[in-house]
Amino acid sequence: MLSLTQEERKVILFLVAVALLGLGINFTLKANCRLVKVLVADERITKINLNQASVEELIKTLGITPKLAEKIVAYRNTKGTFKDIAELKEIKGIGDYRYEKLKDLFFVE
Amino acid sequence: MRRPLVIFAFLFCLGIFTANRISLSFWSVYGLTLTFLFLSLLFFKKQLRFDIFLCCLVFLFGIASLKNSRRLPECHISRYTSYKNNYLYIIKGFVDTQPLFQNNRTSFIFNAQEIQFGNLKYKTCGNILVRIKDKRNLDYGERLILSGALYRPFGFNGPQRQNYRDYLYNQGIFSVMSVKVAVRLNENKGFIFRGLAFWLRQRIEAMISQHLTPASASILDAMVLGEKRNIPPLIYNSMIKSGTVHILVVSGFNVGIVAFIIILFLRLIRIPRRMRFYIATPLLILYCLITGASTPVIRATIMAIVFMFAYLVQREPDIYNSCAVATLAILGINPRQLFDIGFQLSFISVISIVYFYPRMKSFLRLDALKIRYIRLVIEGCLVSFSAWLGTLGFIAYYFRIISPVTVLANMFIVPLASLITLCGFSLIIMDLTCPLLVPFFAYSNEFIVTLLLRINAFLIRLPGAYLYLP
């Protein structure tokens, strides 16, 4: 009926299988936003949540000294949570230059 | 010639159409699709059974695609809106299309990213249609904070079968915002390539309106850029009556002209065949974006690229297969497009021309006709008649109008429209390369547009030229 060769069949089946998997994931994500963390490699994988990071985690981050890490955690404890990355600039010791270096390492949730 | 893609495209469309009629859940359809995928794998070496299972798989995939497209994300902007309420919404996002100024208001599609009402702030997604009073100098990609009333689009049942709300839903727009205050964030989130396309579009529009009278410029804008908003309603309605309104959109013919100009230029400067394809493809995509990437242009662009690719790999291009690729590509991205009038008319006219025209030509034994010019005229009539035959039912159903004058009108209007399109592109090229000659090209354009309008006005005055259905 379709007169497909073996190679064509393999390619079609592979493409349909991949598309079907993508369709299922797409629908699942729409139905439940929280699954984004599991199914999609977003910023949470490459960045640190500023509202959950411990002093040790912060120290391991490039460009943060133990003293600065403590200041960040202290600021967070006083304020409650960070609402925006830009709030980092309010911490003593983080000027514009350092902020530019740090802002891509964190996310706020 | 083998045409498996045509079968797949047909089954995929049938699946989407069926999904509109049945009330199965996504997961049950998905489960069935997986079962047929498994069966196809199991019977991989059995020719007939594999084919049947694969066909079922594609059909079910069509159903699952539409079911998926109908499911909106939990955080979608439409979940925060009702038909009408008095909340003041504050929405952060970016301009996703080129803003248009019409009827004393600026409108554009806005990609929402954050929504706030009262003290509550949420992350969101989805597009909204934004309307702001007066002219605003906004650009594509610009990040904004908008505040105003947010509501769902109303139906407005007109003479057409598809209402305005359905049209917007098919475009992925579920909310409309009347903006009171718009604040710029001085950031740009747009794609550079798309931004370049919008910039070029503005430049060409300005160029055309500089050299032509407003009426002629509006016709040329529609034919070259697909921009119909400036066409006077009187002209537009008269073209609907004569069944020639299709010339006021950018179609496969325009894409063909652009492809021809690009290839000709590249051939002149002795660019090798393979390289010509690599250069022409992005340029055609750019033209598609310049014209607003409407369905007929996307279809024509994909078909042109498939054709060029066939020549590149030295395979015989097949119009049915390239049409199937275009169908699968458009519906794969947005299955709702199947219910869009533009999509249906665009594909049905191409298919009916390709199907009916050669059959009618051989039936009338046109090749035996010795006088070339008469043959060309009859061939033009047959193309027009084939397209009319295919679209007749759809036009009667959606627009409640039948225009018997269409066949006669297209005989005169289509060649003139083709000439205007060619002259329009020549005008643009001349403006860039040799501005001294531009006035001559402008006069020619002006004359042909006037001729077209006068012929059209004459034809719709003929007795029985068109009739409205009850």
Coil, helix or strand at residue B95: strand
The DSSP 8-state label assigned to residue B291 in this structure reads: T
Determine the longest span between alpha carbons in chain A, in angstroms: 74
Position B130 scores a pLDDT of 93
In the prediction, which pLDDT does B374 show?
A: 82
The torsion region of residue B469 among left (phi > 0), alpha (psi -120 to 50) and beta comes to beta
Distance from CA of A27 to the nearest CA of B (A): 6
Q: Which residues of B touch A (CB under 8 A)?
A: 2, 4, 7, 26, 30, 33-34, 37, 40-41, 44, 47-48, 50-52, 54-55, 57-58, 61, 64-65, 67-68, 71-75, 332
Q: Are B53 and B39 in contact (CB under 8 A)?
A: yes
The answer to whether residues B465 and B407 touch, using CB atoms and an 8 Å cutoff, is no
pLDDT of residue A91: 86
Q: Can you tell me the ipTM of this complex?
A: 0.72
User: pLDDT tens digit string along B266-298?
Assistant: 888 888 888 888 888 989 998 888 888 878 888
The helix (run of H) or strand (run of E) holding residue B147 is strand B142-151
CB burial string A37-70: b at 16+ within 10 A, e below? eeeeeeeeeebbebeebeeeebeebeebeeebbe
CB contact under 8 A, B61 and A26: no
| Pairing relationship of beta strands B89-95 and A106-107 according to DSSP bridges | unpaired
Strands B120-123 and B100-102: unpaired
What are the contacts of B318-324 at 24+ separation with CB within 8 A? B318/B1, B318/B3, B319/B350, B319/B354, B320/B3, B320/B6, B320/B354, B321/B3, B321/B5, B321/B6, B323/B6, B323/B9, B323/B299, B323/B347, B323/B350, B323/B351, B323/B354, B324/B3, B324/B5, B324/B6, B324/B8, B324/B9, B324/B10
d(CA A16, CA A22): 10
As a whole number of angstroms, the distance between CA B240 and CA B235 comes to 9
Q: Tell me the nearest-neighbour CA distance from A68 into chain B, angstroms.
A: 30
Q: What is the pTM of this model?
A: 0.78
Residue stretches of chain A with pLDDT short of 50: none
Give the nearest partner residue to A13 out of B26, B34, B41, using CB atoms: B41
CB distance A51 to B75 below 8 Å: no
Phi, psi of B121 (to 5 degrees): -125, 130
Find, in chain A, the residue whose alpha carbon is nearest to that of B57: A16
Task: Mark B3-19 as b/e (b = at least 16 C-beta within 10 Å).
Answer: bbbbbbbbbbbebbebb
Supply the pLDDT for residue A43. Answer: 62
Cα B74 versus chain centre, distance: 30
B329: exposed, middle or buried (Cβ count in 10 Å: 0-12, 13-18, 19+): middle
Q: What is the β-pairing status of strands B120-123 and B105-117?
A: antiparallel
Please list the residues that pair with B148 across neighbouring strands.
B89, B179
Q: How far apart are CA A102 and CA A71, in angstroms?
A: 14
Which amino acid would we find at residue B38? F
Please list the ranges in chain B whose pLDDT falls under 50.
Answer: none
Six token digits for residue A66: 């133990």
